[in-house]
């Protein structure tokens, strides 16, 4: 936080707290009907209020300076990030040129052990043929009992509906 901001905030708060005493004196003098004391107390209230406004203006200036500094710092950080990205890109381009254009166009795949097993199974399926693999998977429909035994469904069951 900028020094002007801190000074302005502290000064404004202090003067606003100092306003309480003359206001209390003003209210007591009003209750008693003492006009001279009321006028004197309101003079002090006006002075403290004016000082509080001056400190508020100083705090506002300090906050503006803080905002300017923050913008400049953000701009510097952005420029640094852009510069590092440029350097990284140049290094990458130089490394690609060193390795040659042929290696840059070749892709490689690393398979885990699980992937190799799945790939081998897939190759075997391709060699057996699609019709043979379908024939193995097609089975006759069955019904399971409460005990878990499989019973074949009888195809001779016929249902007729008349309307």
pLDDT confidence of residue 53: 93
Q: Full-prediction pTM beyond 0.85?
A: no
Instruction: Report helix angle 3-18 to 35-99, nearest 10.
Output: 160
Q: From first to last of its 163 residues, what are the pLDDT tens digits of the chain? A: 778 888 888 999 999 988 999 999 999 999 999 999 999 999 999 999 999 999 999 999 999 999 999 999 999 999 999 999 999 999 998 888 887 654 545 677 787 888 887 777 766 655 555 555 555 555 777 778 888 888 877 766 566 777 7
On whether the CB atoms of residues 111 and 119 are closer than 8 A, the answer is yes
In the chain, count of helices (H) and strands (E)?
Answer: 6, 2
């Amino acid at each position: 936080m900028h020094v002007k901001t801190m000074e302005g905030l502290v000064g404004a708060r202090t003067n606003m707290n100092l306003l309480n005493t003359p206001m209390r004196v003003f209210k007591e003098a009003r209750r008693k009907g003492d006009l001279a004391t009321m006028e004197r107390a309101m003079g002090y209230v006006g002075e403290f209020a004016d000082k509080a406004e001056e400190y508020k203006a100083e705090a506002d200036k300090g906050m503006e300076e803080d905002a300017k500094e923050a913008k400049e710092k953000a701009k510097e950080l952005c420029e640094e990030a852009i510069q590092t990205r440029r350097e990284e890109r140049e290094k990458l381009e130089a490394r690609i040129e060193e390795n040659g254009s042929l290696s840059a166009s070749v892709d490689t795949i690393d398979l885990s052990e699980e992937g190799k097993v799945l790939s081998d199974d897939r190759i075997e399926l391709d060699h057996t043929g699609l019709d043979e693999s379908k024939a193995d998977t097609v089975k006759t429909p069955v019904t399971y009992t409460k005990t878990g035994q499989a019973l074949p469904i009888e195809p001779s069951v016929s249902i007729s509906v008349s309307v």
